[in-house]
Amino acid sequence: MNNNPQWVDDLSAFCFPENVGMTVEMGGEVADVITKTHEKMFPCYECGSIHQCINWRGVPHDGDGGFKDASGKTWWLWIGCHLGPYQWAYEKIMLILIDNPMDHQ
C-alpha cells in the first residue's frame, strides 16, 4: 500500500480549497471518529487496495451527516484513496470497515 498522501492532498486542495487534516486535538465528534477508527481498515473498491483509517480530511459542512469539533464547527469527514482520486466519505467507510485485512481476502 502506498502511504504517501501527497497526491491525494494535492487533488483535495484543488477540489476542496477549505479541506483540513482532522486531528484528535480538534475534540468533539471529530476526535471520537478518529479514535473509534484508529488502525481500522477498509477495502477500496476503486483501486483494490486495503486502506487504513488514517489521514482523515474534512471540509466545513452545514448539512446533515457532519461531525462537530470542540468549537462547534461542523465537518464532512472523508479519507482519500492513496492510489487514485476517489474520496471515501465517513458513511461509506463505516459500511465496509474491517478489523483485520486477512478476513477480507
Written in H, E and C, the secondary structure of 46-86 is: CCCCEEECCCCEEEECCCCCCEECCCCCEEEEEEECCCCCC
Report yes or no on 10 lying in a domain: no
Residue 81 in any domain: the answer is yes
Average pLDDT on 64-74 reads: 93
**How many domains does the structure of the chain reveal?**
1
pLDDT at position 37, please? 93
Q: Which residue has the higher pLDDT, 24 or 10?
A: 24
Domain of residue 70, residue span: 17-99
Residue 60 in any domain: the answer is yes
- How many Cβ atoms from other residues are within 10 Å of residue 42's Cβ? 22
- The pTM score is 0.76
Q: Span 55-65, mean pLDDT?
A: 89
Tell me, what's the pLDDT at 98? 76
Could you tell me the pLDDT band of residue 65, with boundaries at 50, 70 and 90? Answer: confident
Q: How far apart are the first and last CA of the chain?
A: 15
- For residue 14, pLDDT over 70 is answered with no
Q: What is the mean pLDDT of the chain?
A: 82
7 domain-assigned: no
> What's the one-letter identity of residue 51?
H
